[in-house]
Structures are given as structure tokens and as C-alpha cells.
Amino acid sequence: MNIQTKVPLAKHTYFKLGGIADQFVEAKTKDDLIEAVRYAIESKLPYFVLGGGSNVLVSDTGFRGLVIKNRTSSVKLKGFAGGVEKGRLDLKEAIVEADSGVTANYLIRYTLDEGLAGLEDMLGLPGTVGGAVYNNSHHLDKLFGDHIIEVEILDHAGKIKKYTNAECQFAYDYSIFHKTKEVILSASFQLSRGDKTALWSIATEAVKRRSSTQPLGLPSSGCMFKNISLADRMRLGVPTASAGYLIDKAGLKGLRVGGAVVSDVHANFIINDGTATSSDVLALVDTVKQKIKDKFGVSLAEEVIKIGTN
């Protein structure tokens, strides 16, 4: 293992924020990932796995322990029903297994090219399979966990285990891994045959929708806050569960603390204007939460995962 020391995490996060990791290692294969986690366990070092860094806010003081940057990359067809037609696989149903470090977009493009339906709405989701399993990432009403049949993990004793879909306890912005903090090694997806052209067209629409509604290209971690509850939505009679709707209605677009700004394009995005610190973002988050509580009586909860302490 090539362990580096004092590595700035800002360059590994979409927010471009975060202090130094005491130790940092890149895992290119599943074996690397297992070795790195076992090393941390045996050395009694705090550790966490960083996927794409698109859903984290790392503190200005960084992380006292080992950060394992997950670059594992294998995607394979684990099993299928169907036959061979004109020298090509004619898949009716397939199980695709992806390492946790594979980018969600690479996996989705692979399934689209194979004419497999299920993940097409998610094209454009930043980050890795591991990060998307951890938070059960969503797009509109589709959840990343919907087609997962099995997740392979490494537990805190360094042992490999498997979870079924039900055992993952997938819910909106949640999986059991929030609680267990086990390391996700790979995930298997059960997908059925679809029309390749139609699937690509749905996927392309999803990407277009993102680029017309999100401030892409500016440093952020996507939506800062989770959707509001159904009870709050009904009480307020608002047309959407999006926290961004309330933030917009409260006139908070453009609100700023230091270099952290509520986006003008999408009110649920907080942008780093290039000069922000993580403390700026946290202070802006607190301000937005207080204003929404005062105006609507709604307690917003962060979707973005905080790493380290400021």
C-alpha cells in the first residue's frame, strides 16, 4: 500500500473544501480496498471510504486517521437469462455486479449499452456506486437501491459479508450502512431487457434535466437538504417535497456567508464561490435552517454527509 501523509482533501471533493487527511491511500482493486480497511482496523486508526466526494462536506481541520479513496473499477455480468442470437448475447434478465468504486455513470452507460433497463433515469448522478448505495441516491422518484439484489461489504472485524436488498433497509436518503458504517465492496443489480434506443433517450433526458435545473460546473455537493416530510408538505400545501422550494419562497437565493452562497439556479444547492471554507458552508446551513424554521415551522435536515469536526 502506498500510504501518503498530510493529503489535502479539498482536491478530492466536489465542494473543493476540506483540510488535510493524516493518512491517505488509493484502492484500485477490491483486494486493495480490503487490505487498506484491514490495515486501519489492525492499527486502530479511524478511517472512512471516500467515493467520488460528491456528497460530503469535509471540515476545515480535515480528518485524523486514514482516508481510503475508492478507485475500484470492475463491472461484470454475473448471470443472465436469455440466449445467443447472431453471435451476440440476447439478454432477457441479467445480474450486473459493480465494484463500489465504479462511477455510477460508468455502470449506467454499461447497462444501457447492454440494453438493460432499470438505471437509465440515474444517468448524470455524480460519484460512485458505493456512495450511491450508502445514501440510496435518488433521481425524481427513482432510488438507486431499487434494482439491487445484493451488497457485499467488509465488516468491522475485516470479514466479508453479504446483505440482501431487504437487509440493506433502503429508504429515501438512507441505507443500513449509515448505522453500521461497514465498507461497501460491491453491489449486484437485477435488470431486465429494454429497448436500447428508448433507454438512451430516457437517460439523455435525465442528463438534460439536470443541466437545466442545477448549477453544474460550480463547486457544491448537490442538494444540501433532504426533502421535507409529507406531513409538512400537506400542512403547508406546497406542490413539492423539495427543500429548495421553501428556500426559494423564503427569498434566500443568493444568501451568503463568506464564500458560501445559496445558488441562484437551484435554491437547495450551496455553492463555494472559490473562496469559501467549510465553516462558511456550515454557518450558511445553520442560517438557512433557522430562517426556514422561523418562516414555515419546518426543520430541515442535511443530505450532505459531514466528515471531521470544525
Ligand X SMILES: Cc1cc2nc3c(=O)[nH]c(=O)nc-3n(C[C@H](O)[C@H](O)[C@H](O)COP(=O)(O)OP(=O)(O)OC[C@H]3O[C@@H](n4cnc5c(N)ncnc54)[C@H](O)[C@@H]3O)c2cc1C
**Chain residues in the site for ligand X (CB under 6 A):** 14, 48-56, 70, 100, 125-128, 130-132, 134-135, 137-139, 177, 183-184, 214, 216, 220-222, 305
Which residue type does 232 have? D
Least spacing, CB of residue 271 vs ligand X, in Å: 10
> Smallest distance, Å, CB 123 to ligand X?
10
Beta carbon nearer to ligand X, 241 or 305 = 305
Q: Which is nearer to ligand X, 174 or 200 (CB)?
A: 174
Helix axes 196-213, 104-113, angle to 10 degrees: 150
What whole-number distance in Å separates Cα of residue 295 and Cα of residue 289?
10
Smallest separation, CB 208 to ligand X (Å)? 14
Q: Of 240 and 290, which CB lies nearer to ligand X in the complex structure? A: 240
CB of 193 vs ligand X, minimal distance in Å = 26
Beta-bridge partners for 161? 153
Is 25 or 91 the residue whose CB approaches ligand X more closely? 25
Beta-strand relationship, 20-27 and 63-70: parallel
Reading the block at residue 4, the C-alpha cell is: 501518503
Residue 22 to residue 3: CA distance in whole angstroms: 10
Closer Cβ to ligand X, 149 or 207, answer by number? 207
**Mind giving me the DSSP string for 90-121?**
EEEEEEEEEETTSBHHHHHHHHHHTTEESSGG
The cell 438512451 sits on which residue?
A: 200
Rounded least distance, CB 143 to ligand X, Å: 9
Q: Which is nearer to ligand X, 138 or 193 (CB)?
A: 138
Distances (CA, A) of 252 to 15, 134, 222, 273: 20, 30, 17, 16
Beta strand spans in 131-181 (E) = 138-139, 142-143, 148-154, 160-164
Phi, psi for residue 228 in degrees, rounded to 5: -80, 165
CB of 169 to ligand X, least distance (A): 15
